[in-house]
Structure 1
């Protein structure tokens, strides 16, 4: 039997599917590479976290669907087709994780019970570690013209004393945690005097998550690089 482990779940390649890939002639078995590639393509279309959304149990909104973001992977079709054929030729039972490219491994769940949740609807952020709430705070997200994107992101860097620049601004911050590839991240914002509610509509950011300085200092010290950031 041939099995795949993807996103923390293991499933069997249907036996009839494998039999369809094989042909016998003059005592030799050949494997139809095009059929195998077609199958690998189909599991990519079904499971690639770079294009498929994820289901997330949020703190206040219940179960929600979150678009793909920077925390994702894509099955490498050619490399995986070759590897799968080699596994089949070995003639032994196998369980494999597909060869994938991205910011995380294809075998494990995309996120577990350690993550930062940013709820744009409620203008609130939570940090959970091993399922336990470490901190929470009201925030201010992107203004209507430059909204904070939703998606499954991750803290890919941490930087102190950074200056965030754009076409028409340069904002020095003490703590900076970028989460996507376009310049969106979580940072302190000493220019904001209050947080939450509808303030994002009038005093919102260029897309970043403005966080009270004291809370940001604590989040920065406790959340590690690689922590998933789920923005809903």
Structure 2
């Protein structure tokens, strides 16, 4: 974008979910890395003085593709619309997309999704409140107040994985966040592992490396740097 263009689309390249969160200040967001690969994210930001527009390139949903195209066009045009007109158009487009997303599901499907979210919320709250506690599947279903089959179906529909797999990945992410917040001089990796219910250190290191492509000790020793920022 040239200097004469008053609409500056800011771009942030990130290499970690923690950096992705820091790239969207003022928002309360919680990310979990659930697939084994190096994380690579990007956030683009546009301030319309009252309306803040963010695009994250971690999601290929319809809304993300539409917003990506909008911000790309704004970054390339030399004669953009006024901020007031653009704000109104973006709000109308957002409402249209959200309205069409709602009508795609019938009442029974919406109710089922709501029940699945409640089950996930109960399990997630337990996992956050008691990081050192472990439960088997039957105990986890009793905690959620549903049958074992309902628990498994909810996790399959909502996350695409089993409850135990989801819980292990969640706790690996929590361990990573703790390692990133600590200093190597006063922290032992084993202490962090045990805090998140990983009692076999060798298995913890192996699972951690498979997910994040680095050892826990490397995360602890790594110097922190913010997301790379540039204007487009």
TM-score, scaled relative to structure 2: 0.23
Query: Would you tell me which structure has more helix in proportion to its own residues?
Result: 2
Query: Would you tell me which structure has more strand in proportion to its own residues?
Result: 1
TM-score, scaled relative to structure 1: 0.23
Higher relative contact order (CA 8 A, sep 6+): 2
